[in-house]
Amino acid sequence: MTPRQRILATLNRQPVDRLPVDLWHTAEVIADLRRHFGVDDDFAMWRALGLDKIVWNFIGYQNEEGTQAGAQSGAGAESGGDRTMWGVPLKEIQAGEAHYAEFGSAPLAGYETPESLDEYPWWPKLDRFDYDGAVALAKKASADYAVIGPWVSLFEIYCQMRGLEQSMMDLIEDPELVDAILDRIEDIQSQMLKRLLPLVQGHHDLVFVSDDIAGQQSLLLSPPMWERHLQPRLTRWCELIHSHGMKVFYHTDGAARPLLRRIIDCGVDVLNPIQHACPGMDMAELKAEFGKDVIFHGGVDNQSVLPFGTVDQVRAEVKDCLRTLGAGKEGYICSSCHNVQAGTPVENILAMVDAALHPEQP
């Protein structure tokens, strides 16, 4: 099977010759792997690794001239330039070997009524998205690989625009303002998807909905808050994405177990990243409870095992993921649990991929 065939068969609950293996990585890890294999581009590196890579297709956004002329922006910290398309300033952070763009001040923090939102200058405009670029990449990548994108979000964008502390207070003190802001965040991205998805149909397989609703120990918001503010919006997005024949790939880090049934029931097809170090996220239990209803993606610990473990520990971690999340040889795409971070030994990355490609080996 080709990488694309293997991913699509897994998504559609069809037989596969082996479980597929994906990899999320930072720019530093990309550079390390390119050097290791002596190649000049990501596609050659993925082929050298033997990955069933799900290729990212972020849609670019052109900010208005005079604010960020000539630079492609985007929704989150992967953006280029000095701010996201939502107007959130970005700041450059160097932490050891790692370089990050992190969020600066919250530009919507001073807007305290639904009416005041009309005055916010950074609401994205639909004609500034780079639809042509997204179509070109989808056509190129889909020749060999499954394709995912764009990145859309509700609560994460809200928290970026209002600030995390203020966002938590808003949920308690001003739910009407929360709804008003989320209405705009949802509508802008829904209109973008309605333009983009027909253009990439046949070359695009999944849409990435990223909405972290949990931390390392517990939920970030209560189930009733999630049901009011996020459940109906996620359901609408799932229906929109499915109407174009694509799957919903849903990302939330952390201890999300109390909301997983309701998230899946919205129409989510793939759940990521399965951060099993967190309370309630036991892999065998998740497979038993949700395995018939959702495909799992991720699982391989990148907080301790991948960066700091031995090769043998990495292999054991992968085998545990295959045994639990991949039980029955179906419903699982093995991958790092979020991005492999800068400084992770190349031999550990190679061991992860090799253990997934050759599960029969000791």
Q: What is the CATH number of the domain that holds 164?
A: 3.20.20.210
pLDDT digits (tens, 9 = 90+) for 229-250: 999 999 999 999 999 999 999 9
pLDDT digits (tens, 9 = 90+) for 5-33: 999 999 999 999 999 999 999 999 999 99
- Among 294, 248, 316, 216, which residue's Cα sits nearest to residue 286? 294
Q: pLDDT at residue 67 above 50?
A: no
pLDDT digits (tens, 9 = 90+) for 157-181: 999 999 999 999 999 999 999 999 9
**Could you tell me the pLDDT band of residue 314, with boundaries at 50, 70 and 90?**
very high
Are the beta carbons of 63 and 71 closer than 8 angstroms? yes
Tokens of 227: 């049901």
pLDDT at 74: 58
| Angle subtended at Cα 324 by Cα 318 and Cα 328, rounded to the nearest 5 degrees | 110
Other CB atoms within a 10 A radius of the CB of residue 183 amount to 13
- Is 184 contained in some domain? yes
Give 125-171 as a DSSP string: -GGGB-HHHHHHHHHHHTTTSEEEEEEE-SHHHHHHHH-HHHHHHHH
pLDDT at 96: 82
Whole-angstrom distance, CA of residue 82 vs CA of residue 134: 22
Q: pLDDT at residue 70 above 60?
A: no
- Among 241, 356, 349, which residue's Cα sits nearest to residue 24? 349
- Is 210 contained in some domain? yes
- Is 161 contained in some domain? yes
pTM for the whole structure: 0.96
- Is 350 contained in some domain? yes
Q: pLDDT at residue 68 above 80?
A: no
Mean pLDDT along residues 245-270: 98
Number of domains comprising the chain? 1
Are the beta carbons of 76 and 153 closer than 8 angstroms? yes
- Is 352 contained in some domain? yes
Q: What is the residue range of 274's domain?
A: 3-57+103-357
pLDDT at 329: 95
- Is 18 contained in some domain? yes
- Is 69 contained in some domain? no
Least confident of 70-74, 309-313, 342-346: 70-74
pLDDT at 360: 86
Tokens of 22: 């994906």
- Is 80 contained in some domain? no
